Amino acid sequence: MATRTRVWIYAGVRRIRYRSFGQHSGRGVGCRRNSRLVPAGPARRIARIGTRLSPVARERKQGYESWISLGSVDQFPPGQTRLASYRNPVANASDGETADIPCWVRNVDGNRFQVFAINCAHLGCPVRWFPQSRLFMCPCHGGVYYEDGARASGPPERGLFEYSFKVLDGNLQIQAGEMPTPGLSAANKTLIQIERRPPCA
């Protein structure tokens, strides 16, 4: 019995290591292919207990994300970065304005888009876009990101969180539904991990 338990624990420890899965295939124009991080083994089991305890999560076992429209692509002129917002797909009537989630939409060249979460990758504060310097900056601890979302300086350990997107019938759609957090999190599974840039010469 003791040996079996030990073997199980050992197997558990081995499986705790985060496994890398291939990202969903590119949907729409300019979607990135990338790897995502999903906790395996006991971590996922614990995460599942958490999900069971959550009143909202119980209703949606398939995950929180779904495709949401941000409106016509015409609102986002090429070469510009603009604030957009959407009603979170998982929301109750009593949520009020808290379910209206903002995000930054960057139209790279008319065909390619980038949609960033509002939350700083450091502690989740709302980052602001400064067109003059072409930088995103965070008011809390001075995290700075380049216009493509890559980390520029400050305390964040990574770039901005980025949503997958597609253009359907002239509408910009993103896959969203969950607040991104910086931990190695199953929550970020549909979010694209932005590579770290080498520091400027």
Partner 1 sequence: MRLIRAVGNWLDQRLQLGAPIAETMQHPIPRETASWFYVFGSAAMTALAIQLVTGILLALIYVPSAGEAWNSLQVLNHQVTLGWFIRALHGWGSNFMVAIVLIHMVQVFLFGAYKFPRELTWILGIFLLLMTLGMAFTGQVLRFDQDAYWGLGIGASICSRVPLVGPALVKLMLGGPIIAGATLSRFFAFHVFVIPGLLSGFVGLHLLLVLKLGINEWPMPGRLVRRSDYMEKYRELTHTEGVPFVPYGIWKDAIFSGVILLAIAACALYFGPFGPSGQPDPRIIQTVPRLDFFFLWLYALLSLLPPAMETPVLIIGPVIALVGLLALPFFSGEGEKSWRRRPIAVLTILLSAVTLGACRR
Minimum distance of partner 1 from residue 66's CB (angstroms): 11
- Determine which residue in the list 26, 77, 78, 102 makes contact with partner 1, applying CB under 8 A: 102
CB nearer to partner 1: pick between 127 and 172: 127
Angle between helices 42-53 and 2-16 (to 10 degrees): 80
Q: Residue 142: which residues within 8 A CB-CB, separation 6 or more?
A: 153, 154, 155
Q: Do 105 and 115 contact (CB within 8 A), yes or no?
A: yes
Site for partner 1 in 4-33 (CB under 8 A): 16
CB nearer to partner 1: pick between 5 and 98: 98
Q: Which amino acid is at 167?
A: V
Nearest to 178 by CA among 199, 161, 154, 160: 161
- Determine which residue in the list 34, 51, 66, 171 makes contact with partner 1, applying CB under 8 A: 51
Rounded CA-CA distance 13/15 in Å is 5
CB nearer to partner 1: pick between 25 and 92: 92
β-strand pairing of 113-117 with 100-107? antiparallel
Q: Tell me, by CB under 8 A, how many residues bind partner 1.
A: 57
Contacts with partner 1, residue ranges (CB under 8 A) = 16, 39, 42-43, 46-47, 49-51, 53-57, 64, 83, 85, 88, 90-102, 118-119, 122-128, 139-142, 155-157, 177-179, 181-187
